[in-house]
Chain A
């Protein structure tokens, strides 16, 4: 349950970077993942995290995301979470994390909103 079985692939879609993360985001991978995503954030103004394939998002994983989110915010960048599985969304909701993020249904929706400058 706590083994590092996490994967990340990043691709550019228009002016947006999309990171597809699969597997579990736990303390054991949170540090590396944060470093990678911060690096991506340096090269783009819009970062979409596609969570469709994630399994467990632990307390440390949530905190990593929140730090990333705030890092983006102070640098005038936008971080969007999409396709969060219902069970994960539920945990984020009752622990007070969900309301702190911009959450959308799909990558396409995020890109569309970026193109229409809704997220600006």
Chain B
């Protein structure tokens, strides 16, 4: 006996067999015999489900929900005999138009379901849209039955993680990628061997929730072309993967392709973190389009001024009302969905400070959304990374409401490392603090160094090559007369602005890049590398390439050959970190706790051992990390001289039979710049070390 009595229709609407649906889950779900729809609005007076014929793109039915199909503020219906592959859908909401109290209902619009799992309209990246289409984005139903074949999240300890921040399209779109599916999820899979060769074990993907690359279609006065929303920090659908990133987007199979990518990355031991944007939506301010939330329940979803306009803490026109219980539910449900349905390993929250604001925009002491995310059982093992500031001036670095769970993009690590790198005075002590895992930010409250995502470059700003090649941003190609983008770059061009063939400058730039990468791999915390920095990717001085779908953003794989020395160095620097547990502890190292070989966990040195120079004029930092591990003593000496002059380092003495070996010396020409442990040259006991100008070294202790 297996029949259920609720598998049968109870009536008809507009010629379709229906019955009252289930209110949860929100959105659509496939049920025996039909499709269940559920949609929320607190202020709509009526709700109509609109079905489009997928083939003709015309409306094939409009079903007004009877009042008996509403429970509380939620309408739901099961429609029978609906072929899931033949239709797309949206909703019309009737309700007041009264912006002063926050209502902007407009029944002429067909609205996107906020919980929709797949969206059509931008199926193929860059394919010219039909600008006359009144309803460009439409939802459709997909099976959620992917065969994971035993895959689950990797749960790599954060101390062992090496993050690679990348854009799905930019990673392989360039013609030099030499793969079958450039610019797609499938393309990422084809490049897994490359990622493994580099040694990273986590990719952090720039936004992959459905967005509209044509959203910023404004003429570019410089290029004469049209700007695009290439980065995608403007969500259309929080539950739908970007179709235009899928080789199979035109067939509506982006979800399967995305899952296939995650499964393949996991099989290679690589985690997947998503850059998620919950601070605003794609609907802009009061002049923006009505796509979903504005027409469903404007007053609930957005932070509004007393006059009914949109607070703009995001810099993108609106701000999501994240600490309203309904919106909180949406965000939480979304994160759970990506973790359970897509096996995602973690999230980086864009402009996350907004998530701690109350409905008036004020900062909350105990923001319920962040608490719910931090303590949610389904999210319990995934990585949570906050960009701890927003465009509204809220800067919470080191103070982000973290509940012991959120780490932070450490903006101070970026700034101090850049300043030390370019030789600014008064930065030796600050650099030391960053090396030690930023205890100034993360020791209080027991957060530890893993609260710090260490990075020097990210998608937002200069690439590493440009950081050592430009003193100023060069954003003319964005078409805004170089006004956009940050002026706080802390960069140094090494003598000439931009590209040069001057061998002295080229060699110095390469050394500076190596110094930066080495710092990233040696410092306590979780390092994050920007896509392409390992092969000297340039944006020709543009520090804000959000709008370019071209060579400014696409990774040129031919660099790999031209910059083979840099790639080799990066690979070995990553390997060095992975080989030496003393670099990766989850605790802040202490100078009053014994480490190994007579050294404390951390000790500071200078030209003379045990005599660090923290004076404003000092451009030298030297440190010994020492720890006992299951495989024995692990002791490393790291020194960075950012002065233009050489410095003689008297090395700390190791107990016999241990001798220092030279793992890295960026002052040496390749191949002597970096060595595997076994090939590393051994130093005589008591030897001094001549560290070159703008150079850094790593030594490690090994038995003679």
Contacts and interface: CB of A to CB of B under 8 A. Distances in A.
Interface string B499-532: 0000000000000000000000000000000000
Nearest to A93: B186
Interface string B82-105: 011110000000000000000000
A60 B251 contact: no
Contact of B256 (A2, A3, A56, A59): A59
B54 interface: yes
B248 A94 contact: yes
A54 interface: no
Nearest to A3: B55
B134 interface: no
A93 B257 CA distance: 9
B143 interface: yes
Contacts of B152: none
A78 interface: no
B156 interface: no
B473 interface: no
Given A63-B143, A96-B260, A28 B251 contact: no
B185 A2 contact: no
B148 to A, nearest CB: 9
Contacts of A2: 54-55, 85-86
B244 to A, nearest CB: 14
**Interface size for chain A: under 10, 10 to 19, 20 to 34, or 35 or more residues?**
20 to 34
**Interface size for chain B: under 10, 10 to 19, 20 to 34, or 35 or more residues?**
20 to 34
Nearest to A70: B147
A27 B54 CA distance: 13
Given A91-B253, A94-B247, A94-B260, A63 B145 contact: yes
Interface string B21-53: 000000000000000000000000000000000
B482 to A, nearest CB: 40
Interface string A27-64: 11000000000000000000000000000101110010
A16 interface: no
Contact of A27 (B85, B184, B189): B85
B252 interface: yes
Contacts of A13: none
A3 B180 CA distance: 30
Given A63-B143, A94-B247, A100-B147, A58 B85 contact: yes
A91 B85 contact: no
A66 B180 CA distance: 25
Interface in A66-112: 66, 90-91, 93-97, 100
A120 interface: no
B34 to A, nearest CB: 13
A26 B143 CA distance: 13
Nearest to B264: A96
Contacts of A60: 84-85, 143
B257 A94 contact: yes
B84 A96 contact: no
Contacts of B256: 59, 95-97
A26 B84 CA distance: 10
A4 to B, nearest CB: 10
Contacts of A59: 85, 142-143, 251-253, 256
Given A2-B54, A95-B257, A58 B251 contact: yes
A58 to B, nearest CB: 6
A91 B145 contact: no
A59 to B, nearest CB: 5
B578 interface: no
A2 B145 CA distance: 22
Contact of A90 (B83, B145, B247, B259): B247
Nearest to B85: A27
A90 B54 CA distance: 23
B263 interface: yes
A1 interface: yes
Contacts of A96: 146-147, 256-257, 259-260, 263
B691 to A, nearest CB: 50
B84 A27 contact: yes
15 contacts: A3-B55, A26-B85, A27-B85, A58-B85, A58-B252, A59-B256, A60-B143, A63-B145, A91-B253, A94-B248, A95-B260, A96-B147, A96-B257, A96-B260, A97-B256
